[in-house]
Chain A
Amino acid sequence: MNFNRRLALVVLAPGALLGLWLLLGAGLLFAALGPADRAAVADTLAPLIDSHGMLVVLWWFLAALGAGFVAFRLYARYGEAPARLADATRVLAGDAAAPPLPPQAGTGMRALGEAINALAGQRRALQDDMARLIAEASRDVALQRDQLAALMAELEQSVVVLNLEGRILLYNARARALFRTLSQAPGGVAGAELIGLGRSIHAVIDRALIDHAREGIARRIARGDAQASARFVTTTPLGHLIQVSLAPVRAAADDKGDITGFVLLLDDITDEYEARSRQDRRWLDLSEASRASFASMQAALDMLDYPDLEPADRERFQAVVRDEVGVMSHRLTTLAADASHDMKTRWPLQDMLGADLAAAAAQRITAETGQEVDTVAVDADLWLSVDSFALIQALAFLAARLAEALDAPRFALRLAPAGGRAHLDLAFQGTAPGLDLAGWQTRPMQTSDAPSPLTVRDVVERHGGELWLEHARDGSGALFRFLLPVAAGTVAQVPAPGESRPAYYDFDLFAASAQSRESDERALSEIAYTVFDTETTGLDPAGGDEILQIGATRIVNGRLLASECFDQLVDPQRSIPEAGIAVHGIRPEMVRGKPTLPQVLPAFHAFAADTVLVGHNVAFDMRFLTLKENASGVRFDQPVLDTLLLAAIVHPGEDSHGLEAMAARLGIAVSGRHTALGDALATAEIFLKLLPLLRARGILTLGQARAAAQTSYYARLRY
């Protein structure tokens, strides 16, 4: 509208001005004339106005039309085009991805447009560069982190990285396995209440010990020792001895920056320590007992030297010597039997499934000799403690020597347990009298690929084992029998690295130190949460209904830590109504022998320590927990958030805030519905989706969320 009116004004104004100019000129001329001339002119012109007046008006109109057209063109070029250009430039300024300006009419405008386009192009290129660099950098960082996490996962040692507050920001699978052995909690929890991102290490290691170690490091750094680290041994409630090495993490790579955290290397040295103490004890006992025996014998022998001994005395001293010799022999026999178990080779051996070793050895022997190897009689479940490379080399070497000495011997590998050890046999058909077994054992091994400085005997000794050649009585064949150590106990179950691996670190926690601890002031996005759910025998805790199962997971720094879970069945110590079984699927035999709630709750309390509790319709679950406060001795007094109430804030119009309806609304796939852990995981995902929706409504802190939830609670009560 505005634009059109201005255009009309621009087009009409020249004609109007021209008309005015002409009229003014005529008026001036008329006024300048004397009265006689005026009358004469008027007389002359008056008749002409009627006849030729139209001509003048037409003349003016033509001029007005021409001027109007010129004004229109001028306006279009110098008025409208710059305005359009300005608008387009503004759009470009606001959004670098906007299309470039179209070519402008007029040389000046065209040049201007091109200049602006060039500028915008440069800016776009710059932005793209920047974005690419950022993407590359963050990809590099992500890659490095993943590599670090992968490295940590493979480490044989337990590694935990802490921030200055002692909160865990990285741990590896070994550390997790170690903490599982330290945990006093029932099996379904096992360590998850001790180790987890954002948790405090002080639950396991006394704060004073770590502080002491840190002071020591600070002193050494102050003295200029850049490589300062500390080492100490601590005991756990279950009596484990944990050796801890603590090294600072420096902000800068040159070891000059501020300390931002600590790396702990943890080692469970209980077994090693006990074995060593046992060995020391044995050695001491043996030396003392031997001294006593030798003293008795020596004294008796000294007495026997008296020439004038009565036969009875002589007999007495001889009896002493005989007695002591007997005692000492017996002592040595018992000791040897007892100690051989602890006498392990010092060579580092790795645990390996015997069947894997046999398969690899068979392959190698076939490659070496061209003979098939039978591995039917290999115990499939036996774990060995071996130096597999050297052992396979030894087997291949022996097989190659046999193949040289005999004509196409048929090989078989056998593996069987034997007492506390294992027999690994390389059996072969036929015998040849000229077998130089002793020579083979002590000659450096030479197989097809490379000479080895080791002899077969070395390999055997490396394992603290033995090797001999055994002939079948019926002459059908013979075998080389390796006596090998078996792996002690079961191999510690380390969670397979893979999808769960990235969950073991969160370096953003490095920064999370000086935040406000005033809980209501804390931002919702920064709080650590424990999201949980329970399955119960019924709906009335006061009327005797009990918890059957507790499932929980954690959210730290806005990330769901699905690998840090709490999943525990509970013996309700009462019957389970059939109606409930249809819902939760927990049958009486599933909970038989499980811990009771007073046993489980302390572990859950530890799991949820220092976090805000979150649940769906959580008031129901909290009632069960509160009723057990006295029996279990733990109180859940941390803040609690309810996803049901929070959902009512962000979606006030919806009438169903059930878990399934909400999951569907927020686009979350629920698996394991109606198991406590499955529901807890679903609730956690819903909670994470709710957080940005709450932020959009100005709810940023815990205090605001609690207040809003309360309002919506009362709102719900009213309807």
Chain B
Amino acid sequence: MATMLDCKKVQPLLSEFVDGTLPEETNWEVKLHVTSCAVCQKVADDFTATARLLGNLERAEPSAGFEAALAARLADLSLKPHRPSLRERFAEWWQAQGAARRPVLASAAAIAALAPVAVVAVLNLPGRDGGAEAMAGAAAPPVGIQTASWSEGESLEELYDDHAEFSSSLLLGDSSVVLTSSDPRL
């Protein structure tokens, strides 16, 4: 059961109460208080009467020559056409595309946006010879980086030694040596 509000809490709400803008539950609580409190009832009645006095005021009107005077002031000015922003122009163009074309355009835009990411991801995949071949022209061996090689007659131990020496000079995560190695076993 709701407790009854006191005058201190009700009076700040009376302006909204007479305007009928209080939430339903609060309005009910204020109404309950007002019906049993002569002081708050009087304040509410006065607020209502004040609003009515203002609302019934005779309206003041501009002079008969208002438009002519305004026209004289505007004589040297011109209505400046609206310059749409880039965003507004895009929105207008987007609306003009129609419901059927918008999904297609959105998909194409998404693919175009993701394409560079996909290319970089493919280039960075370890052990992807296909990718290396595909990008052979662009992915030439970096100048100055040693690559290990294997030839007939070379012992496996020597090869390990070479590999260990060569690997120690690599940056972590740099797969360019692997991609351009002449020996697929490395």
* Co-assembled chains A and B: no
Which residues of B are at the interface with A, using a C-beta cutoff of 8 A?
A: none
